Amino acid sequence: MTVAAEGITLEQSDWREAPLSLGGETIFAIGDVHGCHHQLAALLEHFSALPASRAARLVFLGDLICRGPSSLEALALWAAPELDARFTHVHRLSGNHEQLLMLSIGSDVAGAAFEKWIIMDGMTFVDELRRTTGRADAPLTRDLLLSAAGNTVVDRLDHLQGQVRIGNTVFVHGGLDPSADPDAHLAAPFTQFGGHHWAWINEPFLRWRGGFGGLMVVHGHTPPEKHRAMSGYPDPHVFQHDRLSLDGGSAVTGIVAAAQIEDGRYRLVTAHGPT
């Protein structure tokens, strides 16, 4: 264990073997943050200091916002242009919370998306926007988001990716539907939400033991306690049955989980701090 910053500690596992084939690339993948910006800052500092970072990709698996201490500070770190200069490529994937936010402020399903988001703690982010702008009763609009988060963050949110494939590995927020063709499943539109959508699926994906057509899956979305109940795995952060979970439970546990992933191996990196 190493102290990364006041109140934050980092733990890094030994290298673990896994059937990952990434064409010689190094990937730094970061799971659900949910406003735990200090933990995110520590992970970004750690990865940036590694020699491998000079030729590495950075993948955010989504759910930067809601529930935790400051979603806006987490988004500022996530959106920073310095990251795009530091790593060979930065992939900012959509979590279900970013999906519902963006659908709520400008889509044909805005009402249904907002109604769904509110019962999932979406108001924690809306209230943060209101506090930051001093507009206590403001409705959630694109203008409110712009006023609080700024143009760079909103532009990044406008261009979220659903998933990224590198070699034999797919990085996606929720997971894959084992009953569907992977390509068809990952092509589900951004305007759909809930159910088995790639940003939402958990139990059918986590219970499956039969593989995903040769794809390895790195994902977030399902925190450890829920993951254990669905998958039966004692430790969700161990690569098993062609998948690796990087949701540390952040806003509840104070843990943001990440990994350094290379051909044939990975190591887990977790940032621990207050919620």
What lies within 8 Å, CB to CB, of 123 at 6+ separation is none
In angstroms, rounded to a whole number, what is the distance separating the alpha carbons of residues 231 and 209? 9
Q: Express each pLDDT in 216-233 by its tens digit.
A: 999 999 999 999 999 999
Tokens matching residue 260: 């350094």
pLDDT tens profile 174-200: 999 999 999 999 999 999 999 999 999
Q: Does the residue 73 lie in any domain?
A: yes
**Binning pLDDT at 50, 70 and 90, where does residue 54 land?**
confident
Answer whether residue 2 shows pLDDT above 60. no
Number of domains present in the structure of the chain: 1
For the stretch 102-156, pLDDT in tens is 999 999 999 999 999 999 999 999 999 999 999 999 999 999 999 999 999 999 9
Judged by DSSP in three states, 226 sits in: helix
Residue 10, domain member (yes or no): yes
Range of the domain at 181: 2-92+160-272
Question: Does residue 18 belong to any structural domain of this protein?
Answer: yes
The reply to whether 40 falls in a domain is yes
CATH code: domain of residue 56? 3.60.21.10
Give the separation between CA 213 and CA 77, rounded to whole angstroms: 35
Tokens of 59: 């993948």
pLDDT exceeds cutoff 90 at 6: no
Residue 248 lies in a domain: yes
231 is a domain residue: yes
Q: Is the predicted pLDDT of residue 1 greater than 50, yes or no?
A: no
Digit-coded pLDDT (tens) for 143-186: 999 999 999 999 999 999 999 999 999 999 999 999 999 999 99
Q: Is 265 helix (H, G, I), strand (E, B) or coil?
A: strand
The pLDDT tens digits for 256-274 are 999 999 999 999 999 999 8
Residue 275, pLDDT score: 84
Supply the angle between the helices 142-149 and 71-79 in degrees, to the nearest 10: 70
Q: How far apart are the first and last CA of the chain?
A: 19
Q: Establish if 118 belongs to a structural domain.
A: no
Task: Please give the model's pTM, rounded to 2 decimal places.
Answer: 0.97
Whether 113 is in a domain gets the answer no
5 pLDDT more than 70: no
Compute the distance between CA of residue 89 and CA of residue 79 in angstroms, rounded to an integer: 13
CB under 8 Å to 51, separation ≥6 — which residues? none
The pair of structure tokens assigned to 30 is: 């970061």
**Mean pLDDT of the residues in the chain:** 96
Q: Residues of the chain with pLDDT > 90: what percent?
A: 95
